[in-house]
Amino acid sequence: MYQLTANPKLKNIVLFGPPGVGKGTQAKLLKEKYNLVHISTGDVFRHHIKNKTKLGKLAQWYMDKGNLVPDEVTIKMLKAEVEKNIGSNGFIFDGFPRTELQARALDKFLAEKGEIVNGMVALEVPENILVERLLERGKTSGRPDDQDEAKIRNRFNEYSTKTEILKDYYQAQNKYFGINGVGTIHEITLRLSKIIDNL
């Protein structure tokens, strides 16, 4: 546990959930409502891939296999995004952290700035519903990782074996909040807001 030297001033939320759960949609709404900076690992990766940077080519290689990008690459990239927006009211981390190593790195990085993660808010949706959603999204998104059910199932396997461990990490700090992720966009935003208002 990292000790803080000052009172935290920012609201830092980790938005959590498996692929296709609607994190991106909710993050955009919450960003407006609470005036936070939305840092989406996926968006950052896609920016690098589109611009064919060294990091982009590396990320593409892992993503094409349906695997997660290695921690050290992701951590370096996310730190740079936080530094760019250091005067903000706080951050919504979407798609990060994904491993306990990343979570510890984020805690340490924020503690150096006198800040904390206020809470992890997780959208919980049954896997079969999400597989259907992703295949449907794949018809229009142009993302090859959304068009192959085997790759989609592999992403869920990655999620459950590597990422669900984070639930225990944040629960140990009394910072884990799971909500029902099935419903209208508005209903889900209201459920998320009830938790965020009290963090």
Confidence bin at 5 (pLDDT 50/70/90): very low
Q: Is 67 annotated as a binding residue?
A: yes
Q: Is 133 annotated as a binding residue?
A: no
% of the chain surpassing 70 pLDDT: 96
% of the chain surpassing 90 pLDDT: 40
- Number of helices followed by number of strands (H, E) in the chain: 9, 5
Q: Can you read off the two tokens belonging to residue 28? A: 């955009």
pLDDT in tens, 21-51: 888 899 999 999 999 999 988 788 788 789 8
Please state the CATH superfamily assignment of the domain spanning residues 11-189 in this structure.
Answer: P-loop containing nucleotide triphosphate hydrolases (3.40.50.300)
Q: Where are the domains of the chain?
A: 11-189
Task: Round to the nearest angstrom and report the end-to-end CA distance of the chain.
Answer: 18
Instruction: Tell me which residues are annotated as active site.
Output: 23, 98, 137, 143, 155
Q: Can you read off the two tokens belonging to residue 68? A: 């997660």
| Mean pLDDT of all residues in 73-77 | 80
The rounded distance, in Å, linking the Cα atoms of 112 and 101 is 17
The rounded distance, in Å, linking the Cα atoms of 4 and 39 is 23
The rounded distance, in Å, linking the Cα atoms of 45 and 60 is 8
Q: Can you read off the two tokens belonging to residue 81? A: 């995004």
Q: Can you read off the two tokens belonging to residue 137? A: 């999204």
